[in-house]
Amino acid sequence: MLNQAKRLVETSTGKSVKLVFDEVPLTSQGVVVSSIDGKVSYDNRVVTRVERYGRAMNELMEG
């Protein structure tokens, strides 16, 4: 699965990438992607998405 993701990223960006699993597993569902130097990161865990879109979700539910 990691090799498939690597090929997809390289095909999409035209750049060579290295993908590795972190030694410490996440405690929640989702994925966190970051650069080796940690300067760029994207957190797509469920809890983070709920926080990110919480207000819009509340407005939608309240009508």
The structural domains of the chain, with segments of one domain joined by +, span 22-63
Mean pLDDT of the region 43-57: 90
pLDDT at 25: 83
Give pLDDT tens digits for 4-38: 999 999 999 999 998 888 888 888 898 899 988 98
Flag whether the pTM goes above 0.95. no
**How far does CA 40 lie from the centroid of its chain?**
11
* Distance (Å, whole) CA 11 – CA 31: 21
Alpha helices in the chain (DSSP H): 2-13, 46-62
